[in-house]
Structure 1
Amino acid sequence: MPIQWFPGHMASARKKAAEAMAAIDVVIEVTDARLPEASSNPMIAELRRFRNRPCLKLLNKSDLADPEATRAWMDFYNRQPGVQAVAISAKSAAEVARIPALCRALAPHRDDGVKPLRMIIMGIPNVGKSTLMNALLKRRVAKVGDEPAVTKHQQTLDLGPGMTLTDTPGMMWPKIDFDADGYMLAASHAIGRNAVIDEEVAAFLGEILIARYPARLAARYKLDAAATAALDGHALLETVGRRRGCLVKGGGLDLEKAAQILLQDYRDGALGRISLETPQSRAQMIAAAEAARLQAQAEEDGEGG
């Protein structure tokens, strides 16, 4: 089932962000390093390109992501005009401390001491914007929580001499084009639980983990590595459920509880450093989706003829 999630307050957030963009020098876009492109809101790129604003693209939660995949994404983004990509963990004070200087390098005209360097933090829900904001300001000014859409209002604060920082609510976009993106976002807790079915999301996540990280699964849940690689997503859920004693009255499996265990283990990094997409896997996904679209169009045209 395709996943879509665009709460009403996000339309208002987009309008306010577009208005703020006119007075901004640098856009700081925060993404999830485990799924950088799936967690990149296309409306943000549209807004900054319209205003011709440079972008510091932060691949946050890099401490949870596969380092090899992160390096590939850094190369991918740093080839794009007007973009500088940096992998960080917003929980690392040293890594966060680099950000103002990186922004100044993207807007050298603001080194004249006349006007402040004006930055805006943007991104989808639950990628760590509030944690980053608090770390930059070295005080708690934004509410932090492991739930999407915690921040509801835009605010601008002085970062230091000659610098201002605008924080924006997490923004989704009206239609997620690729089903896989919706599932990756749900697995990473960027989408509200009321919009998803945990078992379906966990089974999707399981398919990726089996294909790319079977040894991590085997180690975490004490499984045979070869047998793990032969499972599909639903069978993995059943296996995790049995291993963790997820039972309902009568002895049946509680697959919802098993799904929540797998999802939480991924979100917390208990499975190790994992990335759900790479530039190569994304190109393959897009090509497959286009091929499917063309096939469906051809069949429709054939029926019409």
Structure 2
Amino acid sequence: MTVEWYPGHMGKAHKEIAELVRSTHVIIEIVDARLPVSSSNHLLHELRRNKPCIKVMNKNDLADPAVTKAWVRTFERENGVRALPLSAKQHRETAQLIKICYSLAPNWGKQPGYPLRAMVVGIPNVGKSTLINTLAGKSVAKVGDRPAITTSHQRIDLRNGIILSDTPGLLWPDMKDQVAAYRLAASGAIGDNAFDYMEVAIFAAEFMMEQYRDLLIARYKLTDLPETGAELLEQVGRRLGCLVSGGLVDMNRASEAFLRELRAGKIGRVSFERSEYDGAD
């Protein structure tokens, strides 16, 4: 099954973001630290032009620390880009973002009437609204466990010289890179009706068997791993009680349970893609 997902409001969001960029001093792009390339929209890269950009690697607490460190080196090789791994729920971590904004636009936000305008962009379900609420110290943006909660633009005055523009999550109209699409589906960034749970769960299971076998063995108390992703899901289903009459495993329930555990970090800290500088000094 091909994964495709592009809700109607995203076409409008693309035009809104293009207009907002003109009056914006700093672009804050939120990506998922576990898959920072697959969760970075190339359309946003084009739209930001040469504006300073902070690439916030959210959900850092769920990602493989060594892999994240390599991604920071990769992103900061690009001119005008700063990379900041964090968890959007942590006030102490998000406070660093304010300091970086001022360093990238030092002539703005210091005097009344000259606010620093920062725009928060990113694909659905990477934590834009959570980050904004943490920075604002109150609930000003809708937060949910499903993608595409934010469907229209709003401005938030942080009362510290910075005005944030919150924009809807923006995916690209066609997903030619299906490996990236499956990674996004596994992470929870794509609506459930756009993919087959079992196919995505098998994809994720096979990835985990290749890259994080020890985490799987420890989480599900396995003596060894099976040959295929489908067989792993069957074993996981038995461990989690996803059974039907006759003691058979309900593979749909097992697939959903496995993806929930993976997304929540219950299996361990995992990164779905690695930088070419992984392991470099």
Q: Work out whether 1:82 is the aligned partner of 2:80.
A: yes
Q: Which runs of 5+ in 2 are unaligned?
A: none
Decide which of 275, 287, 302 is 2:271's aligned counterpart: 275
| Counterparts of 1:191 and 1:105, CA distance in 2 | 34
Residue pair 2:87, 2:93 contacting (<8 A) in 1 also: yes
Equivalenced residue count is: 277
Structure with higher Rg: it is 1
Decide which of 48, 61, 66 is 1:68's aligned counterpart: 66
The one-letter code of the counterpart of 1:239 is Q
Corresponding residue number in structure 2 for 1:214: 213
> Where is the helix percentage greater, Structure 1 or Structure 2?
1
Residue pair 1:210, 1:231 contacting (<8 A) in 2 also: no
Corresponding residue number in structure 2 for 1:94: 92
State the identity as a percent: 48
Corresponding residue number in structure 2 for 1:134: 133
Note the C-alpha offset of 1:144: 0.8
| Counterparts of 1:2 and 1:82, CA distance in 2 | 35
- The aligned runs of 1:146-185 (5 Å cut-off) are 146-185=145-184
Note the C-alpha offset of 1:91: 1.1
Note the C-alpha offset of 1:254: 0.5
User: Larger RCO: Structure 1 or Structure 2 (Cα < 8 Å, ≥ 6 residues apart)?
Assistant: 2
Corresponding residue number in structure 1 for 2:118: 119
Note the C-alpha offset of 1:232: 1.9
Stretches (4+) displaced over 4 A: none
- Measured against aligned partners, the alpha-carbon deviations of 1:100-136 in whole angstroms (never above 9, x if no partner) come to 1101111123266362110010000110100000001
Corresponding residue number in structure 1 for 2:258: 262
| Counterparts of 1:6 and 1:281, CA distance in 2 | 32
Partner of 2:55: helix, strand, or coil? strand
Partner of 1:263: helix, strand, or coil? helix
Residue pair 1:30, 1:58 contacting (<8 A) in 2 also: yes
- The aligned runs of 1:225-240 (5 Å cut-off) are 227-228=224-225, 230-240=226-236
| Counterparts of 2:98 and 2:246, CA distance in 1 | 59
Note the C-alpha offset of 1:245: 2.6
Q: 1:80 to 1:7 in 2, by over 3 A?
A: same
Q: Work out whether 1:191 is the aligned partner of 2:190.
A: yes
Corresponding residue number in structure 2 for 1:245: 241
Corresponding residue number in structure 1 for 2:44: 44
The one-letter code of the counterpart of 1:15 is K
| Counterparts of 2:245 and 2:169, CA distance in 1 | 40
| Counterparts of 1:160 and 1:197, CA distance in 2 | 45
- The aligned runs of 1:50-61 (5 Å cut-off) are 52-61=50-59
Note the C-alpha offset of 1:220: 1.0
Corresponding residue number in structure 2 for 1:302: none
- Root-mean-square deviation (CA, aligned residues, Å) is 1.5
| Counterparts of 1:169 and 1:139, CA distance in 2 | 19
Note the C-alpha offset of 1:82: 1.2
Higher mean C-alpha deviation, range 74-83 or range 110-119: 110-119
| Counterparts of 1:43 and 1:73, CA distance in 2 | 20
